[in-house]
């Protein structure tokens, strides 16, 4: 179990990097960041696919359909909504919304998968979920106060960012639950191969999106310099780094955790992504977190540690 927790921690640290891209590439359209990241992810998956070609050949047509669905919703759509939300509302609000995922996924998966994984008793799950929720609320209170103090804040823009962030939450409530379903249904399959399969499934989707985006900009006489924007070297380097670390290695770590832990418990461990994203945001700001933020982080960690000690009751 603790090995699964360590894998989830690694996934969270790597996935937190996806919040950095929109902050560093504010002048880049979110759609370009999405297709750029996942084109890089798909290209990185090609040599990995050659290494695992025999295992990939065992995947059925139904498996590839599942990989396409996971790639489209959990990769492309999720990151488009998230990056759009960050560019419209800044980092704090989307981080706040994504921070609710441990609670949302734990509740949904405990209701949905209790018969399969064993049901985590609500009486014992309630306290860690409450601690996590209070910790998130503490962290977010500081961020919301900062937003209200900004005289130049555009409330409509922030509201749209919030709606897009909620869409990202929906995508990433569905993704880990459906991904865990496939891994549990195929216990003999390698999580590494499944991560690579999702990368391959992403490649044609991202390529088609890139072509459509480029063509749309050309038809609309956009002044944005395609194909790589005003900072091509930085854009390429950042997309490759996020693709390798967050998309492939992060997915691999998450798949390893999903095979070792109940889905409800894995859902709570997405809190590591929130902690990583907040840490990276404060590093980019060059400021130390407020005392209430530090208290919230401590509560988040305490809630996770308490939650992983809860053992599921045997199905039936």
Task: Please tell me the distance from the alpha carbon of residue 266 to that of residue 271, in angstroms, as a whole number.
Answer: 10
* pLDDT (0 to 100) of residue 315: 56
Residue 316 scores a pLDDT above 60: no
Give per-residue pLDDT as tens, 130-141: 888 888 888 778
For 84, the domain range is 1-309
Enumerate residues 6+ apart whose C-beta is below 8 A from 277. Answer: 16, 19, 91, 95, 98
Burial of 185 (0-12, 13-18, 19+ CB in 10 A): exposed
Residue 314 scores a pLDDT above 70: no
Give per-residue pLDDT as tens, 57-112: 999 999 999 999 999 999 899 989 999 998 887 777 787 788 777 777 777 877 77
Q: Which of 244, 132, 112, 248 is nearest to 173 (CA)?
A: 112
Contact assessment for residue 265 and residue 120, using Cβ atoms and an 8 Å cutoff: yes
Which residues, in sequence order, are bridge partners of residue 119? 313
- Whether 210 is in a domain gets the answer yes
* pLDDT (0 to 100) of residue 41: 86
Percent of the chain at pLDDT > 70 equals 92
- Whether 158 is in a domain gets the answer yes
- Whether 291 is in a domain gets the answer yes
What average pLDDT does range 275-287 have in this prediction?
Answer: 83
Q: Which position has the higher pLDDT, 158 or 171?
A: 171
Run of H or E including 59: none
- Whether 316 is in a domain gets the answer no
Structure tokens at 257: 């955790």
Contact assessment for residue 311 and residue 124, using Cβ atoms and an 8 Å cutoff: no
What average pLDDT does range 286-306 have in this prediction?
Answer: 83
- Whether 314 is in a domain gets the answer no
* pLDDT (0 to 100) of residue 67: 94
Q: Please say whether the dihedral angle defined by the alpha carbons of residues 6, 188, 250 and 245, taken in this order, is positive or negative.
A: positive
Contact assessment for residue 46 and residue 184, using Cβ atoms and an 8 Å cutoff: no
User: Per-residue confidence at 117, pLDDT binned at 50, 70, 90?
Assistant: low
Task: Please tell me the distance from the alpha carbon of residue 287 to that of residue 233, in angstroms, as a whole number.
Answer: 28
Q: Which position has the higher pLDDT, 284 or 208?
A: 208
Q: Please say whether the dihedral angle defined by the alpha carbons of residues 157, 160, 164 and 169, taken in this order, is positive or negative.
A: positive
Q: Which of 91, 110, 147, 111 is nearest to 263 (CA)?
A: 110
- Whether 315 is in a domain gets the answer no
Give per-residue pLDDT as tens, 205-256: 999 999 999 998 888 888 888 888 899 999 999 999 998 898 778 878 888 8
* pLDDT (0 to 100) of residue 312: 65
Question: What percent of the residues of the chain are helix, what percent strand, and what percent coil, each to the nearest 5?
Answer: 80, 0, 20
* pLDDT (0 to 100) of residue 73: 94
Q: Which of 92, 38, 50, 70 is nearest to 240 (CA)?
A: 38
Give the chain's domain count.
1
Cis peptide before 116 (omega within 30 of 0): no
Percent of the chain at pLDDT > 90 equals 27
What average pLDDT does range 287-315 have in this prediction?
Answer: 78
User: Per-residue confidence at 261, pLDDT binned at 50, 70, 90?
Assistant: confident
pTM of the model: 0.80
- Whether 197 is in a domain gets the answer yes
Mean pLDDT score of the chain, rounded to an integer? 84
Residue 48 scores a pLDDT above 80: yes
* pLDDT (0 to 100) of residue 118: 65
Residue 1 scores a pLDDT above 80: no
Q: C-alpha 287: how far from its chain's center?
A: 25
In sequence order, what DSSP letters do the residues of 73-140 get, joined into one string?
A: IIIIIHHHHHHHHHHHHTTHHHHHHHTTHHHHHHHHHHHHHHHHH-BPPHHHHHHHHHHHHHHHHHHH
Task: Please tell me the distance from the alpha carbon of residue 137 to that of residue 179, in angstroms, as a whole number.
Answer: 28
Residue 262 scores a pLDDT above 80: no
Q: What is the 3-state secondary structure (H, E, C) of 187-229?
A: CCCCHHHHHHHHHHHHHHHHHHHHHHHHHHHHHCCCCCCCCCC
Residue 114 scores a pLDDT above 70: no
* pLDDT (0 to 100) of residue 78: 92
């Amino acid at each position: 179990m603790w090995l699964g927790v360590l894998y989830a921690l690694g996934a969270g640290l790597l996935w937190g990097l996806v919040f950095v891209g929109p902050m560093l590439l504010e002048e880049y359209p979110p759609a370009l960041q999405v297709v750029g990241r996942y084109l890089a992810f798909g290209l990185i998956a090609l040599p990995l696919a050659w290494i695992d070609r025999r295992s990939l050949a065992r995947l059925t047509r139904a498996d590839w359909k599942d990989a396409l669905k996971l790639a489209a919703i959990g990769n492309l759509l999720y990151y488009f909504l998230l990056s759009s939300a960050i560019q419209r509302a800044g980092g704090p609000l989307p981080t706040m919304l994504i921070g609710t995922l441990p609670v949302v996924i734990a509740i949904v998966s405990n209701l949905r998968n209790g018969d399969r994984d064993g049901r985590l008793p609500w009486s014992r799950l309630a306290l860690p979920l409450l601690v996590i929720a209070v910790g998130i609320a503490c962290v977010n209170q500081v961020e919301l106060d900062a937003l209200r103090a900004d005289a130049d804040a555009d409330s409509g823009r922030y509201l749209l960012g919030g709606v897009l962030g909620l869409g990202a939450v929906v995508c990433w409530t569905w993704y880990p639950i459906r991904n865990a379903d496939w891994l549990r249904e195929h216990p003999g399959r390698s999580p590494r191969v499944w991560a690579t399969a999702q990368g391959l499934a992403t490649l044609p989707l991202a390529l088609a999106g890139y072509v459509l985006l480029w063509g749309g900009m050309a038809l609309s006489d956009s002044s944005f310099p395609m194909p790589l924007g005003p900072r091509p070297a930085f854009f390429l380097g950042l997309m490759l780094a996020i693709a390798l670390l967050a998309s492939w290695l992060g997915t691999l770590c998450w798949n390893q955790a999903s095979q070792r832990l109940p889905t409800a418990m894995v859902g709570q461990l997405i809190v590591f992504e929130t902690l990583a994203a907040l840490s990276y945001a404060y590093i980019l700001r060059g400021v130390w977190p407020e005392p209430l933020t530090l208290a919230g982080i401590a509560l988040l960690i305490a809630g996770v540690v308490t939650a992983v000690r809860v053992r599921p009751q045997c199905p039936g």
